[in-house]
Amino acid sequence: MHHDNTDAIRRLKTAEGHLRGVQRMLEEDAYCIDVIRQIQAVQSSLNKISALLLEQHLNSCVITAVRGEDPAERERVMKEIGDVFEAATRV
């Protein structure tokens, strides 16, 4: 299924720029707490992108599978969602 990923791509490019900034901070021996805060900002940005993509997936692919006639497909997409949440809780 095709999705409009324009917003996610824009957000990824922004996160990429921030990540390069973190690298530059380390190269310039910036204060550790400032670097950590920037890393946290990048992580937060990536989490928002992930949530955006998950929302799109839930509102399209998962709904289609749940409404469909194939029980194996319904089970597959539900397992995928469970796996994503399990992976998100790992440290």
For residues 66 and 72, give the distance between their C-alpha atoms in angstroms, rounded to a whole number: 10
CATH of domain 6-88: 1.20.58.1000
CB atoms within 10 A of CB 55: 10
The structure's pTM equals 0.81
Predicted confidence (pLDDT) per residue in 2-26, tens digit: 788 999 999 999 999 999 999 999 9
Residue 91's pLDDT is 64
